[in-house]
Structure 1
Amino acid sequence: MSITAAKASLDQVSALVRGVQLPLEAIDQDHLEIVVAGLADAFEDARAAAPVIVATGNEAAVTALIESHLNRRIDEDPIWRSLVARVGRGTESINYDGTKIEKRPDLSISFTARSRRFPLIVEAKIIDLKSSKTAKLYCENGVHRFQIGDYAWGCREAVMLAYVRDGSNIAATLTPQITRANGSGLAEFGTTTGLTVLQFTTKELASSEHDRSFLYPSQRPPRDKPGPISLWHVWLR
């Protein structure tokens, strides 16, 4: 990378983080639970209104429906409106060092009482073995992005959302992938705690914690370490 390009990248980061100490404070667990419930409700609303899209559509099509239902809920639900300011789909963002300025996480949820520069990121994946949409890809093209600082690098938490179309479940399907080791015997996705199942209702909910493999270029040591990120896994069917 040239000096000019490197400076331009850091300028992107400096503009975004000015006046902010990273990572941000953790989101209250009660608020995260409200968001998870909102995602599950939006999925049910979408399935009732457009069952064919939810059953057969690609990730973008299903997520677009969920975005619409969540934003409509801001107008209709006072509790949701008090917490959530906006839900965006495919909103462009930059990675931790500004070398990628067109990252597009599936959903970005901005809170009313929190910096909107760093929304809660939700990355969605289909789980369907017949279509080669596997837990392996869920980790490699989803979990990995949080580990390397492409997504949610200024936050302590994020959400992985799965649209499950086969018999897969978190405990049996996701655990072997998210805890797997690389050729050196290290956790491939920086997983430190494995999976903790939080709840079983109409959805499956679990959490995992992952060490992150980058440093903040905008902060001096030891504050340049982002610390681990907590991922909430919400599997809907």
Structure 2
Amino acid sequence: MSAAPSHNNVFTTTSAVGVWQADPASYKLPHPSVALPVIKIVCYVLAHAFEELRKQGKDLAALSEDEITAKLMEFLENTLLKADGDPAKGGIPGFTKTIFRSVTRQSNAQSYNQQKVRPSPDLWFLLNYDQRPEVLPSYDALLVECKIVDKTSKRSAGPWYGDEGMIRFVNGDYAWAMTEGIMLAYARDSRTIADHLIPALAETARMATLKTQTLPVPVPFKALMAKSVCQETLHQSTHGRGFTYLENKGIAPDITLYHLWLRCDLQSGGAVTLQTPDNA
């Protein structure tokens, strides 16, 4: 008896939205959860790349958000991922092509209902779909939204980081196929998660807007804390979504957002012992 036909390369038109879309039988929504060790690898290499830029003499307190993010992406893709986890080549163990296809920046993408096309999160860590069957490869990624957070009102933890950043993961503009996302703050003026983000997110109106299920709590991560650019450890919060997927794929579940805050205001630092995510 012949094998059942594969749907992986079959495409069909979706009349409701008038675009080409993968055969609904070829993927599931949401995509499989990303394991915490993989998320930790991404956060670690972000912190490592950020610190390397500072060690190269980049004034991270003066650069724009786009300038920092562009430099991070180039280092992540051209140095760290190219080394495929080999420390002798400048790589980080665990940050390998077996897990990640590529790191890209501001890829345009459609919202969950395909009604909006816009520049989406600043960094895309595209996952290797050979290891993750039944996904939409173009949306199978850990997405990172980057924000400068400082003492100015236009870049505050609440209206800027929360209402203009986190909300996009909640309303289905970002990471709608996933159940995880990452918020990366380039922290200035001594801004911290404990003193600035958590109080802002705890405001009643913002709790409702962001459909907050749990406020940020620490995620133990010893290797990350060894990085001098980290004021505090990784945090995570949980948020409802509740929008309806196309193609009768059901209701979007909650999303977990990981909060990585890195310090821009360090001019120099002592030697830091290199640890890997395995030390988490």
The TM-score with structure 2 as length reference comes to 0.74
Give the letter aligned to residue 72 of structure 2: I
1:173-194 per-position Cα deviation (integer Å, ceiling 9, x unaligned): 11122232229xx622110011
How many residues get paired? 225
CA drift at 1:18: 6.2
CA drift at 1:229: 0.2
Residue aligned with 1:14, SS: strand
**How far apart are the structure 2 equivalents of 1:182 and 1:131?**
18
CA drift at 1:117: 1.8
CA drift at 1:233: 0.2
Give the letter aligned to residue 22 of structure 1: L
**How far apart are the structure 2 equivalents of 1:88 and 1:211?**
27
Task: State which of 32, 36, 53 in structure 1 corresponds to 2:43.
Answer: 36
CA RMSD of aligned residues (A): 2.2
Task: State which of 41, 54, 60 in structure 1 corresponds to 2:66.
Answer: 60
Match runs of 1:37-116 below 5 Å: 37-52=44-59, 54-71=60-77, 72-78=79-85, 79-81=94-96, 82-112=98-128, 113-114=131-132, 115=135, 116=137
Contact 1:149 1:213 in 2 (8 A): no
CA drift at 1:16: 8.5
**How far apart are the structure 2 equivalents of 1:235 and 1:175?**
13
1:119-166 per-position Cα deviation (integer Å, ceiling 9, x unaligned): 111000001114731101100111100110000000000000000011
2:271 corresponding residue in structure 1: none
Task: State which of 106, 130, 140 in structure 1 corresponds to 2:163.
Answer: 140
2:272 corresponding residue in structure 1: none
Give the letter aligned to residue 182 of structure 1: A
Task: State which of 147, 154, 159 in structure 2 corresponds to 1:125.
Answer: 147
Contact 2:144 2:184 in 1 (8 A): yes
Q: Residues 19 and 206 (structure 1 numbering): CA distance in 2 closer, same or farther, change over 3 Å?
A: same
Identity of aligned residues (%): 31
Contact 1:212 1:227 in 2 (8 A): yes
Task: Give 4+ residue runs of structure 1 displaced > 3 Å after superposition.
Answer: 11-18
Structure 2 gaps of 5+ residues are 1-13, 86-93, 264-280
Bigger Cα Rg: 2
Q: Residues 127 and 218 (structure 1 numbering): CA distance in 2 closer, same or farther, change over 3 Å?
A: same
Contact 1:14 1:218 in 2 (8 A): no
More helix by share: 1
Structure 1 gaps of 5+ residues are 1-6
Task: State which of 9, 27, 30 in structure 1 corresponds to 2:34.
Answer: 27
Contact 1:10 1:217 in 2 (8 A): no
**How far apart are the structure 1 equivalents of 2:259 and 2:20?**
28
